[in-house]
Amino acid sequence: MTKKQKTPDSKTTFVHLAGDLSQGAAIDTSSASERVLIPERAIDVDEIVFRAREDIPEVFVQRGDLLIVERRKPESAATGESVVVLIGDRSFIGQWWTKHGERALLNDGLDSIIEDREMRILGAITTIVRWR
């Protein structure tokens, strides 16, 4: 659970990272104790924050972006929703797809990033914070 700590101006807040994400790699939790500054209105109490360790152009994520993620049950996302999924310990970012008997993670062009019956939804990406 993310705990908010207000800064003096109340418009931003510090939160702890849950880790760094790379497409197809295990979540790097070595940064989990690091605190990052985000707009206060960008996060709810139960959401978690990941940092993109690399550019992921197929879903318009840039290295250093902070991904605010609303936790979900393993099968609980709407078609077209941006999500973080896990296959074993590897993480992937894309759009969830469950239509016409298909179950896949897609890029913004609706091309398959990965199709695997073992995909588990970690959460939906509600906001991407880019400070540049």
The two tokens of residue 40 are 């206060």
Report the alpha-carbon distance of residue 82 to residue 18 in Å, rounded: 18
Pick from 93, 88, 85, 94: nearest CA to 120: 85
Residue 67 backbone dihedrals phi, psi, to 5 degrees: -105, 115
The two tokens of residue 98 are 């469950």
Q: Can you tell me which residue has the tokens 């073992």?
A: 118
Sorted by where each begins, the domain ranges of the chain are 5-129
Under the banding of pLDDT at 50, 70 and 90, the label for residue 131 is: confident
Q: Can you tell me which residue has the tokens 């996060």?
A: 43
For the segment 82-109, what is each residue's pLDDT rounded down to a tens digit? 999 999 999 999 999 998 888 899 998 8
**Is residue 10 pLDDT above 80, yes or no?**
no
Mean pLDDT for 15-29 is 96
% residues pLDDT > 90 (the chain): 76
**Is residue 1 pLDDT above 70, yes or no?**
no
What is the reported pLDDT for 7? 45
3-state DSSP call for residue 41? helix
What is the reported pLDDT for 6? 47
Q: What is the CATH number of domain 5-129?
A: 2.10.109.10
For the segment 26-48, what is each residue's pLDDT rounded down to a tens digit? 999 999 989 999 999 999 989 99
